[in-house]
Structure 1
């Protein structure tokens, strides 16, 4: 049996806001969708800083997609619109300023 090599990559922005692992083996394939346990912030060569929701089985792949800038347990508001990254966990952004306009 031939082993399939999967190069770690960051795909386009996801509209999936459930707290699930967003790992997909290849672009356009189904995501893992197991409950996310880790939120990894990487500096993606393609997109810049990106937060990746991951389960324990795929967290090493998330870390391999770029330089790791931070990581915390995935919980609560992680991955939702209007959140800010924190080393302890994501926080709601109550500034009232739209992202990219402040």
Structure 2
């Protein structure tokens, strides 16, 4: 009788440990998922606001410094850096390509 009770206790302890472990894992996944959703929402909000800034002057070429100031005024607490982005090599000035290649070589070596 005593052996059966001990065996039952041990089995119940294992089940309890498994339930606690499972609960902990599920809670961690839930928290990570919620944080990821919040992160995605914040990124899309920033993206939309940035697009609104760019749409204010659709036929105007932005000066990088002016655009950086505008971004800094809107998001003081977040560090966002404005950079040139070219869709093709033909649009890039030579100095930009050369500087990029120097940086690229530096990162490889």
Q: TM-score, normalised by structure 1?
A: 0.25
Larger Rg: 2
Q: TM-score, normalised by structure 2?
A: 0.24
Query: Of Structure 1 and Structure 2, which has the larger fraction of its residues in strand?
Result: 1
Tell which has more relative contact order, 1 or 2 (C-alpha 8 A, sep 6+).
Answer: 1
Query: Of Structure 1 and Structure 2, which has the larger fraction of its residues in helix?
Result: 2
